[in-house]
Each structure stands twice: as structure tokens, then as C-alpha cells.
């Protein structure tokens, strides 16, 4: 037979072979098999093995390949952490094509129960896994992460506690860098990441301001100079005294906060079991909104690009603000009752209003 690339003599027949990603695939055919048949097998095997290599690599290897492909993302540090969580949860030696939607849902449920992650955090992690499949396999390939329902926020996840409860919790803690950071979070609404990025030059306690760094979360927000309340100035004074500047472990903060919540419960304070340090930011938002009734101002203080997210934070204060608005308008609303009890008649067609008889 004529010697061709990918085809060789094998015993009394011929053998077609093709190498894909370093792996050799072979198949024997009877002598006299048309070259067209051999070439068609090689092309089909090349496509099949190439697709299998794309869909069925080890999760750890595919994760590294994906992170190299999206290295230009502005939030690559967050994406690297989210993908790392999936690799640890599903297993680095796991073949990616064997991952099922029910396994992904089980991991999300475990994170929600054991780590008490918020629905938004779970959605971000699920989106990261779905994007990995999309980037590596294309938009039309099977994507198990897309088949998992997105976690939705619940009233419990957005519940906030009054500032009196926050004060009672922090009062059970000894002076420490962790307590000072929690006080700053509760009195300024700054998220933990921005607190970790603060440097002494960002604080002006005489002028009662703090300069924040830009945020990349969500729609992002520009860095700006925020005013400080008296309580925030006092919190930053403790912050400076404890030298709490620089990065810190959010998990350690969460552990210390849970212990403080447990001590407060033993003292008779009503504290939700699911309360997290980040909920102090929610409490700050609800408190400011309850006093100012200005959602746009709360959004600026929280660093939100719009009031859509802010409204979720301030939900706990809506009833108080709405009732106060009705009380403020009570005098004018009372005008409606002026004609009650008196007979009314309709004026001729040219008239525009109802008049008393």
C-alpha cells in the first residue's frame, strides 16, 4: 500500500493512528481498506478526542487554563478565589466532564449551611463556575452550572438588627484590632475589604472625614471622601490605638463576632443565629435611612452606583419611614374629611367640582 501519514502496515492489515494532546489513538483495519475510510476515521477521532480533551480534563488543570484565559479581568483576584473554592469542593483530580448539576447544588447548599454565605456570594461563585465552562468549551457546549437554580435572597438573609443590639454585642468584646474594625464597619458602613485597605493618611479625624478606595464589586464605585459621625470618629480613634491598619482575616473576624453574639445571647440580648459581621453594614444603612429618609444619601455613603441595591439594605426601615411620612402629611390628608357627613350634589355639567348643598 502507499505509505501515508497516520497510516501504517500492521500485521496482515493496516493501522490508522492519530495523536491528540499527546495521547495516541489507533485502530486496525483489514488490508485493502480504502484510504478514504482510514482518513475519515482519523478526522472523526481527532474531533472526538479533541472535544473530550476540552470537556474532560482534570478540574485543577482546566481551572488553571481558564484563569490564564481571563487574566485580564479587573476582578481576577476574586475570580481566582471563587474558582479555587470549586476546585477544593469538587476535587482537583476530578474530571470536569463528570461534574453533575446536582453535585454543584449540593456544594452550594453546604456553603450556605456551614459557612453561612449570603445568596449573592453563592450566585457569584456559581456564575464563576458557569463562566469557566463557557470559556473553555464555548457557548453551545453542555454547561452543568447553568442548569443549577440561582440562589435567591430571603428575608432572613437581609434582616438587620438595631444599633442597640450591635452595641450590646461589641460590648462583650475586649479592646482588640478585631473589635475596632467591627466598630468602624458598624459606624461607617465600609465593607471589610475597604477597611483592610485603609492607611493612616486616609483619616482626618479633625476634619471628620475618611478617604476610601475604589470598589470593583458589582457595578463598582469610585473612591471618595466620606464624612464621619461622632461615633465613627470614636471608632477610628480605637482603630488607630489598636494599630488595626492593613489586611486581616475575615474568617477570624467572623469567628470572633460569633463568639461575641453567643455571649450577648447568654446575657439576654436577642441576636439572630445567622448574624454576620457584614450585617453591621446593613444595620448602618437602615439606621441612616430611618433618620434621613434619603435613599440616595445612603447609597452614596455605602458606595453604591445606584439605589437599587441600597433599597434592599434599607428594607428594615421602610415601615418606620413610611409611617413617619404619613404622620407628617396627616394635616393635609385630613382635608379629605372636611365634607364628611354633609349631603353632596352634583353641579351642572359646566362645573368642575362637587359642591356642598
| pLDDT for the residue 116 | 80
| pLDDT for the residue 155 | 46
| pLDDT for the residue 311 | 78
In this model, does residue 342 exceed pLDDT 80?
no
Q: How far is CA 286 from the centre of its chain?
A: 20
Mean pLDDT for the stretch of residues 93-113: 91
Mean pLDDT for the stretch of residues 21-38: 82
| pLDDT for the residue 87 | 95
The CA distance from 81 to 310, in Å, is 26
Mean pLDDT for the stretch of residues 148-172: 79
User: Cβ(286)–Cβ(165) under 8 Å?
Assistant: no
| pLDDT for the residue 168 | 95
| pLDDT for the residue 156 | 44
Q: How many CA atoms lie within 13 A of 78 on its CB side?
A: 14
- pTM for the model: 0.53
In this model, does residue 356 exceed pLDDT 50?
no
- Residue-range domain boundaries for the chain: 7-55, 59-147, 163-324
Class of domain 163-324: mainly alpha
| pLDDT for the residue 124 | 92
The CATH classification number of 59-147 equals: 1.10.150
| pLDDT for the residue 45 | 79
| pLDDT for the residue 236 | 95
Radius of gyration of the chain (CA): 31
Task: Pick the closest to residue 86 from 66, 68, 113, 56 (CA basis).
Answer: 66
| pLDDT tens digit sequence for 163-212 | 999 999 999 999 999 999 999 999 999 989 899 999 999 999 999 999 98
| pLDDT tens digit sequence for 207-262 | 999 998 876 655 556 678 889 999 999 999 999 999 999 999 999 999 999 999 99
Q: Phi-psi region for residue 177, left (φ > 0), alpha (ψ -120 to 50) or beta?
A: alpha
| pLDDT for the residue 334 | 64
| pLDDT for the residue 88 | 94
Full 3-state SS string of 287-332: HHHHHHCCHHHHHHHHCCCCHHHHHHHCHHHHHHHHHHHHHHCHHH
| pLDDT tens digit sequence for 268-319 | 999 988 899 989 998 898 888 888 888 888 888 888 777 777 777 677 677 7
| pLDDT for the residue 157 | 45
In this model, does residue 263 exceed pLDDT 90?
yes
Task: Pick the closest to residue 256 from 192, 166, 178, 160 (CA basis).
Answer: 178
| pLDDT for the residue 172 | 95
| pLDDT for the residue 227 | 92
| pLDDT tens digit sequence for 53-64 | 554 578 999 999
Amino acid at each position: 500500500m502507499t505509505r501515508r501519514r497516520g497510516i501504517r502496515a500492521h500485521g496482515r492489515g493496516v493501522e490508522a493512528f492519530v495523536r491528540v494532546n499527546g495521547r495516541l489513538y489507533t485502530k486496525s483495519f483489514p488490508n485493502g481498506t480504502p484510504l478514504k475510510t482510514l482518513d475519515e476515521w482519523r478526522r472523526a477521532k481527532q474531533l472526538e478526542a479533541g472535544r473530550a480533551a476540552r470537556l474532560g480534563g482534570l478540574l485543577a488543570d482546566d481551572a488553571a487554563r481558564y484563569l490564564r484565559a481571563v487574566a485580564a479581568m479587573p476582578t481576577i483576584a476574586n475570580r481566582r478565589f471563587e474558582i479555587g473554592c470549586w476546585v477544593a469542593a469538587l476535587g482537583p483530580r476530578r474530571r470536569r466532564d463528570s461534574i453533575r448539576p446536582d453535585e454543584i447544588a449540593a456544594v452550594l447548599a453546604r456553603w450556605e449551611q456551614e459557612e453561612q454565605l449570603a445568596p449573592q456570594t453563592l450566585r457569584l461563585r456559581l456564575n464563576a463556575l458557569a463562566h469557566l465552562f463557557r470559556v473553555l468549551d464555548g457557548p453551545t457546549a453542555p454547561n452543568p452550572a447553568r442548569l443549577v437554580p440561582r440562589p435567591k435572597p430571603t428575608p432572613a438573609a437581609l434582616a438587620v438588627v438595631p444599633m442597640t443590639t450591635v452595641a450590646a454585642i461589641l460590648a462583650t468584646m475586649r479592646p482588640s484590632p478585631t473589635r475596632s474594625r467591627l466598630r468602624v464597619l458598624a459606624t461607617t458602613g465600609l465593607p471589610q475589604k475597604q477597611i483592610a485597605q485603609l492607611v493612616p493618611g486616609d483619616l482626618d479625624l479633625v476634619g471628620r472625614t475618611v478617604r476610601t478606595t475604589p470598589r470593583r464589586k458589582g457595578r463598582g464605585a469610585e473612591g471618595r471622601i466620606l464624612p464621619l459621625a461622632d461615633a465613627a470618629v470614636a471608632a477610628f480613634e480605637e482603630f488607630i490605638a489598636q494599630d488595626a491598619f492593613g489586611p486581616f482575616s475575615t474568617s477570624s473576624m467572623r469567628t470572633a463576632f460569633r463568639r461575641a453574639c453567643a455571649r450577648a445571647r447568654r446575657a439576654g440580648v436577642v441576636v439572630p443565629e445567622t448574624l454576620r459581621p457584614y450585617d453591621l453594614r446593613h444595620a448602618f444603612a437602615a439606621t441612616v435611612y430611618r433618620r434621613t429618609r434619603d435613599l440616595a444619601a445612603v447609597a452614596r455613603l455605602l458606595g453604591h452606583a445606584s439605589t437599587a441595591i441600597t433599597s434592599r439594605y434599607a428594607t428594615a426601615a421602610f415601615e418606620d419611614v413610611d409611617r413617619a411620612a404619613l404622620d407628617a402629611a396627616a394635616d393635609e390628608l385630613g382635608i379629605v374629611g372636611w365634607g364628611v357627613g354633609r349631603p353632596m350634589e352634583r353641579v351642572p355639567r359646566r362645573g368642575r367640582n362637587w359642591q356642598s348643598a
